[in-house]
Each structure stands twice: as structure tokens, then as C-alpha cells.
Amino acid sequence: MQTCPEVETEASSPELIYLLLGDLRELLQERRRIEVHRVALLATLDKLIDVLSTVPIGDGFDDEFNDLLADCPYLSENVELLLLARRRDSMRLAVVRNSITSARYSTRTAERIAEELTAWMGSYCTHRSQERRLIQLAANREVGGEG
């Protein structure tokens, strides 16, 4: 298993995030061997945290979101909640990452870290799904729909 944490973000951020999530899933498949994969896991998490910090909501659909919010101000709460959830997820991922460096290895620790990272991935995917729904609403409005 190879991870490439030094890869520049020339690929679009969503593609790079997708690849890093795949690396993370692969590393977590052997929960009891997290200690063996600690360096790769930390490198993957560091790159993931770095890339996630640069991704705007909508992945470049800022104009559509601005238009959507101008036309539908009632959706501003949805966007704000999504931004808050993204910040909370980023902090949660950083806490888990830091716990990997400070934790003494045990089977219980490996299981806890794997569970926390699996829960984080689920939360991230849920928020991306909510974001896609908002993007779809913006796209529908752009082609003449009323949302």
C-alpha cells in the first residue's frame, strides 16, 4: 500500500480527497495493525487535513451559491450549517490525528481510532451529500427551474 502525501494538489481537490479517503479506508481495514501503518496513516491524515482546509463549499461553485443565496435567502441557514459542520469535522479529524501521535498503542486504542475515523468519514460523506443537494438546487435554478 502506497500513499502519496507529497502529491501536489494539481488534481482537483475533490479527486485528491477521494483518493485520500480511499487510502484511509485501506489503512483502516486492518484495525489491529494501525500501529504498523501509523506513519502512512499520519501522512494521509495530514494531507487530507491540508486539502480539506483549502476546499470552498461547493468546490468552485461560489458564484452559483452566491446567486442561490441572493435568490433564496432562506437557504443561507443551510449553507451556514454546512460550513459549521465542515469546520467541526475538520477539528474532529485534527483531534483524531493528534491522538494517533500521542496514544500508546493497544488493541483498544487501535479500535477507538478506527471507529473515530470511520465515523468521521461517514459524517464527511453526509455533509458532501448535503452540499451536492444545494449545488443541484443552484444548477436547477440556473437552467430556469425555480428550485
**Residue range 58-87, pLDDT digits in tens:** 555 566 667 777 777 777 888 888 888 888
Q: Which of 5-14, 93-102, 105-114, 138-147 has the lowest mean pLDDT?
A: 5-14
What size, in residues, is the chain?
147
Q: Is residue 68 assigned to a domain?
A: yes
Q: When comparing pLDDT for 117 and 30, which is higher?
A: 117
Range of the domain at 127: 13-142
Q: Is residue 31 assigned to a domain?
A: yes
Q: Is residue 8 assigned to a domain?
A: no
Distances (CA, A) of 139 to 52, 58, 75, 144: 23, 11, 14, 9
CA-derived radius of gyration, the chain: 18
Q: Is residue 79 assigned to a domain?
A: yes
Distances (CA, A) of 99 to 50, 62, 96, 126: 17, 34, 5, 24
Q: Is residue 3 assigned to a domain?
A: no
Q: Is residue 48 assigned to a domain?
A: yes
Q: When comparing pLDDT for 62 and 13, which is higher?
A: 13
Over pLDDT 70: what percentage of the chain? 77
Q: Is residue 135 assigned to a domain?
A: yes
On the question of pLDDT at 7 being above 60, the answer is no
Q: When comparing pLDDT for 1 and 82, which is higher?
A: 82
Q: Is residue 81 assigned to a domain?
A: yes
Cβ atoms < 10 Å from Cβ of 103:
16
Q: How many domains does the chain have?
A: 1
